[in-house]
Structure 1
Amino acid sequence: MNTQNPLKAVAFALAFASTATFAHGNAHAPTTAYDAATVEETAFGHAGDPKKVNRVIKLSMSDAMRFTPSDITIKLGQTVKFVISNRGKVLHEMVIGTPEELKEHAALMKKFPEMEHSDANMAHVKPGMSGEIVWEFTKPGEYSFACLVPGHFEAGMVGQVVVK
Protein backbone atom coordinates (compact mmCIF):
# COMPACT_ATOMS: atom_id res chain seq x y z
CA MET A 1 0.00 0.00 0.00
CA ASN A 2 1.28 3.49 -0.82
CA THR A 3 0.92 5.34 2.49
CA GLN A 4 2.10 8.58 0.88
CA ASN A 5 -1.22 8.99 -0.92
CA PRO A 6 -3.94 9.86 1.65
CA LEU A 7 -6.81 8.88 -0.67
CA LYS A 8 -5.35 5.41 -1.20
CA ALA A 9 -4.81 5.03 2.55
CA VAL A 10 -8.44 5.94 3.27
CA ALA A 11 -9.71 3.65 0.50
CA PHE A 12 -7.61 0.82 1.92
CA ALA A 13 -8.98 1.46 5.41
CA LEU A 14 -12.57 1.46 4.18
CA ALA A 15 -12.04 -1.72 2.19
CA PHE A 16 -10.38 -3.37 5.17
CA ALA A 17 -13.18 -2.30 7.50
CA SER A 18 -15.85 -3.71 5.23
CA THR A 19 -14.21 -7.08 4.62
CA ALA A 20 -12.11 -7.80 7.69
CA THR A 21 -13.04 -10.12 10.51
CA PHE A 22 -12.09 -7.35 12.90
CA ALA A 23 -14.01 -4.30 13.84
CA HIS A 24 -14.12 -1.37 16.20
CA GLY A 25 -16.65 0.70 17.98
CA ASN A 26 -16.78 2.62 21.21
CA ALA A 27 -19.36 0.85 23.29
CA HIS A 28 -19.90 -2.90 23.31
CA ALA A 29 -20.16 -6.14 21.38
CA PRO A 30 -22.75 -6.55 18.62
CA THR A 31 -26.31 -7.05 19.79
CA THR A 32 -27.67 -8.86 16.75
CA ALA A 33 -29.13 -12.32 17.27
CA TYR A 34 -27.07 -15.38 16.37
CA ASP A 35 -27.79 -16.65 12.85
CA ALA A 36 -25.90 -19.80 11.81
CA ALA A 37 -26.49 -18.98 8.13
CA THR A 38 -24.41 -15.80 8.40
CA VAL A 39 -21.53 -17.12 10.52
CA GLU A 40 -18.14 -16.67 8.83
CA GLU A 41 -15.28 -19.08 9.48
CA THR A 42 -11.92 -17.60 10.49
CA ALA A 43 -8.47 -19.09 11.06
CA PHE A 44 -9.44 -19.70 14.71
CA GLY A 45 -13.15 -20.54 14.57
CA HIS A 46 -16.41 -18.65 14.29
CA ALA A 47 -19.10 -16.86 16.26
CA GLY A 48 -20.64 -19.31 18.68
CA ASP A 49 -24.27 -20.09 19.29
CA PRO A 50 -25.13 -18.61 22.72
CA LYS A 51 -27.48 -21.57 23.30
CA LYS A 52 -24.55 -24.00 22.96
CA VAL A 53 -22.07 -22.40 25.36
CA ASN A 54 -20.25 -25.12 27.29
CA ARG A 55 -17.70 -22.94 29.09
CA VAL A 56 -17.72 -19.47 30.61
CA ILE A 57 -14.44 -17.61 31.09
CA LYS A 58 -14.33 -14.38 33.08
CA LEU A 59 -11.60 -11.88 32.20
CA SER A 60 -10.81 -8.43 33.45
CA MET A 61 -9.02 -5.54 31.77
CA SER A 62 -7.14 -2.78 33.54
CA ASP A 63 -5.46 0.54 32.87
CA ALA A 64 -2.16 -1.25 33.61
CA MET A 65 -2.74 -2.55 30.04
CA ARG A 66 -3.23 -6.16 31.10
CA PHE A 67 -5.83 -8.91 30.85
CA THR A 68 -6.44 -11.21 33.81
CA PRO A 69 -6.07 -14.06 33.08
CA SER A 70 -3.78 -13.54 30.10
CA ASP A 71 -3.31 -17.21 29.18
CA ILE A 72 -6.24 -19.51 28.46
CA THR A 73 -6.42 -23.13 27.31
CA ILE A 74 -9.54 -24.30 25.49
CA LYS A 75 -10.62 -27.69 24.16
CA LEU A 76 -11.10 -27.95 20.41
CA GLY A 77 -14.77 -27.52 19.53
CA GLN A 78 -15.74 -25.71 22.73
CA THR A 79 -18.17 -22.83 22.52
CA VAL A 80 -16.90 -20.31 25.02
CA LYS A 81 -18.62 -17.28 26.45
CA PHE A 82 -16.05 -14.70 27.49
CA VAL A 83 -17.37 -12.27 30.09
CA ILE A 84 -15.01 -9.29 29.99
CA SER A 85 -14.98 -6.64 32.73
CA ASN A 86 -13.29 -3.27 32.34
CA ARG A 87 -11.85 -2.34 35.74
CA GLY A 88 -10.10 0.72 34.34
CA LYS A 89 -11.04 4.33 33.74
CA VAL A 90 -10.65 4.28 29.94
CA LEU A 91 -12.25 2.29 27.13
CA HIS A 92 -10.72 -1.15 26.57
CA GLU A 93 -11.62 -4.00 24.27
CA MET A 94 -10.97 -7.65 23.69
CA VAL A 95 -10.41 -8.80 20.10
CA ILE A 96 -9.65 -12.46 19.29
CA GLY A 97 -7.46 -13.28 16.29
CA THR A 98 -4.19 -14.60 15.00
CA PRO A 99 -1.12 -12.69 16.21
CA GLU A 100 -0.50 -11.44 12.67
CA GLU A 101 -4.07 -10.19 12.16
CA LEU A 102 -4.08 -8.40 15.52
CA LYS A 103 -0.76 -6.71 14.79
CA GLU A 104 -1.98 -5.53 11.37
CA HIS A 105 -5.26 -4.28 12.77
CA ALA A 106 -3.54 -2.47 15.68
CA ALA A 107 -1.39 -0.60 13.13
CA LEU A 108 -4.47 0.33 11.11
CA MET A 109 -6.28 1.57 14.22
CA LYS A 110 -3.28 3.75 15.05
CA LYS A 111 -3.66 5.44 11.65
CA PHE A 112 -7.48 5.66 11.83
CA PRO A 113 -8.41 5.77 15.55
CA GLU A 114 -11.95 7.04 14.91
CA MET A 115 -12.88 4.11 12.65
CA GLU A 116 -15.99 2.47 14.12
CA HIS A 117 -17.19 -1.05 13.42
CA SER A 118 -17.98 -4.23 15.34
CA ASP A 119 -17.79 -7.96 14.86
CA ALA A 120 -18.45 -11.21 16.72
CA ASN A 121 -14.80 -11.70 17.78
CA MET A 122 -14.65 -8.50 19.83
CA ALA A 123 -16.15 -6.62 22.73
CA HIS A 124 -15.66 -2.91 23.40
CA VAL A 125 -16.12 -2.21 27.08
CA LYS A 126 -16.56 1.18 28.72
CA PRO A 127 -15.00 1.81 32.13
CA GLY A 128 -16.81 -0.03 34.92
CA MET A 129 -18.88 -2.07 32.46
CA SER A 130 -18.68 -5.58 31.03
CA GLY A 131 -19.11 -7.18 27.62
CA GLU A 132 -19.34 -10.64 26.11
CA ILE A 133 -17.97 -12.65 23.21
CA VAL A 134 -19.36 -16.08 22.33
CA TRP A 135 -16.90 -18.01 20.18
CA GLU A 136 -16.54 -21.59 18.95
CA PHE A 137 -12.92 -22.65 18.52
CA THR A 138 -12.88 -25.05 15.56
CA LYS A 139 -9.16 -25.30 14.86
CA PRO A 140 -6.30 -26.29 17.16
CA GLY A 141 -3.46 -23.83 17.59
CA GLU A 142 -2.19 -20.80 19.43
CA TYR A 143 -4.18 -17.61 18.97
CA SER A 144 -4.23 -14.25 20.67
CA PHE A 145 -6.57 -11.70 22.13
CA ALA A 146 -5.70 -8.05 22.51
CA CYS A 147 -6.94 -4.56 23.16
CA LEU A 148 -6.56 -2.64 19.90
CA VAL A 149 -7.40 0.80 21.27
CA PRO A 150 -4.46 2.85 19.94
CA GLY A 151 -1.43 2.43 22.21
CA HIS A 152 -2.86 -0.40 24.31
CA PHE A 153 -1.59 -3.25 22.08
CA GLU A 154 1.84 -1.64 21.95
CA ALA A 155 1.83 -1.38 25.78
CA GLY A 156 1.45 -5.16 26.01
CA MET A 157 -2.32 -5.58 26.40
CA VAL A 158 -2.25 -9.02 24.80
CA GLY A 159 -3.22 -12.52 25.89
CA GLN A 160 -2.95 -16.02 24.48
CA VAL A 161 -5.51 -18.73 23.74
CA VAL A 162 -4.24 -22.27 23.21
CA VAL A 163 -6.77 -24.58 21.56
CA LYS A 164 -6.02 -28.30 22.03
Structure 2
Amino acid sequence: MKSLTWTLVAMVAMGGSAPSFSHSGAPASKMPGDVDRTMRPVQKSWGIAGNPDVVDRTISFSITERVQLTPESFDAAQGETLKIVLTNNGLLPHEFVIGTRQSFEEHMAMKARDPQRGHGEPYAAQVPAGESAEIIWTFNRSGIFNFACPLAGHFLPNSMGTINVSANK
Protein backbone atom coordinates (compact mmCIF):
# COMPACT_ATOMS: atom_id res chain seq x y z
CA MET A 1 0.00 0.00 0.00
CA LYS A 2 2.88 2.37 0.81
CA SER A 3 4.41 1.92 -2.64
CA LEU A 4 1.05 2.70 -4.31
CA THR A 5 0.72 5.89 -2.24
CA TRP A 6 4.25 7.04 -3.11
CA THR A 7 3.67 6.18 -6.77
CA LEU A 8 0.54 8.34 -6.79
CA VAL A 9 2.35 11.19 -5.02
CA ALA A 10 5.18 11.00 -7.55
CA MET A 11 2.74 10.96 -10.48
CA VAL A 12 0.88 14.02 -9.16
CA ALA A 13 4.15 15.86 -8.52
CA MET A 14 5.44 15.09 -12.01
CA GLY A 15 2.14 15.98 -13.64
CA GLY A 16 2.18 19.42 -12.08
CA SER A 17 5.55 20.24 -13.60
CA ALA A 18 5.35 18.39 -16.89
CA PRO A 19 5.59 20.63 -19.95
CA SER A 20 2.64 20.88 -22.29
CA PHE A 21 3.28 20.55 -25.99
CA SER A 22 1.66 21.93 -29.12
CA HIS A 23 0.68 19.83 -32.11
CA SER A 24 4.17 20.34 -33.53
CA GLY A 25 5.82 18.74 -30.50
CA ALA A 26 7.34 22.04 -29.35
CA PRO A 27 6.49 23.56 -25.99
CA ALA A 28 3.09 25.24 -26.11
CA SER A 29 2.58 28.99 -25.73
CA LYS A 30 2.56 30.22 -22.15
CA MET A 31 -0.45 32.55 -22.44
CA PRO A 32 -3.77 31.59 -24.05
CA GLY A 33 -3.46 34.41 -26.59
CA ASP A 34 0.18 33.80 -27.52
CA VAL A 35 0.94 32.68 -31.05
CA ASP A 36 2.89 29.44 -31.26
CA ARG A 37 5.45 30.45 -33.90
CA THR A 38 6.95 26.95 -33.91
CA MET A 39 3.96 25.62 -35.82
CA ARG A 40 3.98 25.65 -39.60
CA PRO A 41 1.96 28.61 -41.01
CA VAL A 42 -1.49 27.68 -42.31
CA GLN A 43 -2.81 29.33 -45.47
CA LYS A 44 -6.16 31.05 -44.97
CA SER A 45 -8.31 32.60 -47.67
CA TRP A 46 -7.28 36.02 -46.29
CA GLY A 47 -3.53 35.30 -46.12
CA ILE A 48 -0.86 33.61 -44.05
CA ALA A 49 1.30 34.39 -41.00
CA GLY A 50 4.03 36.83 -41.95
CA ASN A 51 7.73 36.85 -41.24
CA PRO A 52 8.49 39.52 -38.59
CA ASP A 53 11.87 40.14 -40.26
CA VAL A 54 10.23 41.08 -43.58
CA VAL A 55 7.57 43.72 -42.85
CA ASP A 56 6.55 46.11 -45.63
CA ARG A 57 4.72 48.60 -43.40
CA THR A 58 3.03 49.09 -40.04
CA ILE A 59 -0.61 49.99 -39.34
CA SER A 60 -1.61 51.06 -35.84
CA PHE A 61 -5.06 50.58 -34.32
CA SER A 62 -6.68 52.09 -31.26
CA ILE A 63 -9.26 49.88 -29.54
CA THR A 64 -11.85 51.23 -27.09
CA GLU A 65 -15.28 50.36 -25.73
CA ARG A 66 -17.00 52.39 -28.47
CA VAL A 67 -17.37 49.06 -30.35
CA GLN A 68 -15.30 50.58 -33.09
CA LEU A 69 -11.76 50.07 -34.27
CA THR A 70 -9.84 53.05 -35.60
CA PRO A 71 -9.08 53.08 -38.51
CA GLU A 72 -12.25 51.44 -39.84
CA SER A 73 -10.61 50.18 -43.05
CA PHE A 74 -7.27 49.90 -44.79
CA ASP A 75 -5.83 48.86 -48.14
CA ALA A 76 -3.08 46.35 -48.79
CA ALA A 77 -1.42 44.98 -51.90
CA GLN A 78 -1.37 41.26 -52.57
CA GLY A 79 1.90 39.89 -51.17
CA GLU A 80 2.33 42.74 -48.69
CA THR A 81 3.36 41.85 -45.12
CA LEU A 82 1.96 44.17 -42.48
CA LYS A 83 2.76 44.64 -38.83
CA ILE A 84 -0.57 45.49 -37.20
CA VAL A 85 0.00 47.20 -33.85
CA LEU A 86 -3.01 47.13 -31.53
CA THR A 87 -3.28 49.47 -28.57
CA ASN A 88 -6.14 48.94 -26.13
CA ASN A 89 -7.01 52.41 -24.86
CA GLY A 90 -10.13 51.06 -23.18
CA LEU A 91 -10.88 49.69 -19.74
CA LEU A 92 -11.86 46.17 -20.86
CA PRO A 93 -9.91 43.44 -22.65
CA HIS A 94 -10.41 43.33 -26.42
CA GLU A 95 -9.58 41.05 -29.33
CA PHE A 96 -8.53 41.82 -32.86
CA VAL A 97 -9.17 39.11 -35.44
CA ILE A 98 -8.65 39.15 -39.22
CA GLY A 99 -10.90 36.95 -41.35
CA THR A 100 -14.06 36.73 -43.43
CA ARG A 101 -17.70 37.05 -42.45
CA GLN A 102 -17.93 33.24 -42.45
CA SER A 103 -14.85 32.86 -40.25
CA PHE A 104 -16.32 35.39 -37.78
CA GLU A 105 -19.56 33.39 -37.61
CA GLU A 106 -17.52 30.24 -36.88
CA HIS A 107 -15.45 32.14 -34.29
CA MET A 108 -18.59 33.41 -32.53
CA ALA A 109 -20.02 29.87 -32.39
CA MET A 110 -16.74 28.60 -30.87
CA LYS A 111 -16.70 31.43 -28.31
CA ALA A 112 -20.34 30.69 -27.39
CA ARG A 113 -19.31 27.10 -26.57
CA ASP A 114 -16.08 28.07 -24.80
CA PRO A 115 -15.91 31.79 -23.85
CA GLN A 116 -12.55 31.42 -22.05
CA ARG A 117 -10.78 29.77 -24.97
CA GLY A 118 -7.73 31.72 -26.01
CA HIS A 119 -6.20 32.26 -29.40
CA GLY A 120 -3.04 30.86 -30.80
CA GLU A 121 -3.77 31.84 -34.37
CA PRO A 122 -1.40 34.36 -35.95
CA TYR A 123 -4.34 36.36 -37.35
CA ALA A 124 -5.79 37.05 -33.88
CA ALA A 125 -4.64 38.86 -30.77
CA GLN A 126 -6.04 39.33 -27.29
CA VAL A 127 -5.21 42.78 -25.95
CA PRO A 128 -5.64 43.43 -22.20
CA ALA A 129 -6.76 46.91 -21.11
CA GLY A 130 -3.94 49.44 -21.29
CA GLU A 131 -1.65 47.11 -23.25
CA SER A 132 -0.56 46.56 -26.83
CA ALA A 133 -0.14 43.54 -29.08
CA GLU A 134 0.84 42.96 -32.67
CA ILE A 135 0.00 40.72 -35.59
CA ILE A 136 2.38 40.07 -38.50
CA TRP A 137 0.29 39.04 -41.50
CA THR A 138 0.97 38.54 -45.21
CA PHE A 139 -1.99 39.28 -47.45
CA ASN A 140 -1.08 36.85 -50.23
CA ARG A 141 -4.64 36.61 -51.58
CA SER A 142 -6.58 39.47 -53.13
CA GLY A 143 -10.13 40.29 -52.05
CA ILE A 144 -12.17 42.05 -49.42
CA PHE A 145 -11.60 40.76 -45.90
CA ASN A 146 -12.63 41.88 -42.44
CA PHE A 147 -11.35 42.61 -38.96
CA ALA A 148 -13.27 42.98 -35.71
CA CYS A 149 -13.27 42.52 -31.95
CA PRO A 150 -15.44 39.39 -31.71
CA LEU A 151 -15.74 39.26 -27.91
CA ALA A 152 -19.28 38.73 -26.67
CA GLY A 153 -20.98 42.09 -26.31
CA HIS A 154 -18.33 43.81 -28.46
CA PHE A 155 -19.09 42.26 -31.83
CA LEU A 156 -21.78 43.70 -34.03
CA PRO A 157 -22.02 42.95 -37.76
CA ASN A 158 -21.80 46.67 -38.55
CA SER A 159 -18.69 47.07 -36.37
CA MET A 160 -16.53 45.00 -38.72
CA GLY A 161 -13.69 46.80 -40.43
CA THR A 162 -12.74 46.22 -44.05
CA ILE A 163 -9.42 45.23 -45.61
CA ASN A 164 -9.21 45.79 -49.38
CA VAL A 165 -6.38 43.68 -50.81
CA SER A 166 -5.64 44.57 -54.43
CA ALA A 167 -4.38 41.94 -56.85
CA ASN A 168 -0.88 42.09 -58.28
CA LYS A 169 -0.82 43.89 -61.62
Q: TM-score, normalised by structure 1?
A: 0.76
Structure 1 equivalent of residue 101 of structure 2: 99
User: Partner letter of residue 111 of structure 1?
Assistant: R
Does 2:149 match 1:147? yes
How far apart, CA to CA, are the structure 2 residues paired with 1:59 and 1:117?
19
Aligned residues: 138
User: Cα distance, 1:149 vs. partner?
Assistant: 1.0
The CA deviation at 1:150 is 1.0
Structure number with greater CO (CA < 8 Å, separation at least 6) is: 1
2:118 alignment partner AA: E
Larger radius of gyration: 2
SS at match of 2:53: helix
Please give the per-residue CA displacement for 1:20-74, whole angstroms capped at 9, x wherever unaligned: xxxxxx87542x44x6x81111101100000110110001111011100011111
Same amino acid, percent of matched pairs = 32
- Give 5+ residue unaligned stretches, structure 1: 1-17, 19-25
**Alpha-carbon deviation of 1:155?**
7.2
| Amino acid in the other structure paired with 1:85 | T
Amino acid at match of 1:146: A
TM-score (normalizing by structure 2):
0.74
Q: Which runs of 5+ in 2 are unaligned?
A: 1-22, 24-30
The offset of 1:112, in angstroms, is 2.2
> Cα gap change, 1:62/1:156 in structure 2, threshold over 3 Å: closer, same or farther?
farther
What is the CA distance between 1:157 and its match in structure 2? 3.7
Measure, in 1, the Cα distance between the counterparts of 2:88 and 2:61.
9
Give the Cα separation in 1 of the matches to 2:34 and 2:87.
12
**Cα offset, 1:79, TM superposition:** 0.3
Is the 1:29–1:122 contact (alpha carbons within 8 Å) kept by the matching residues of 2?
A: no
Counterpart in 1 of 2:12?
none
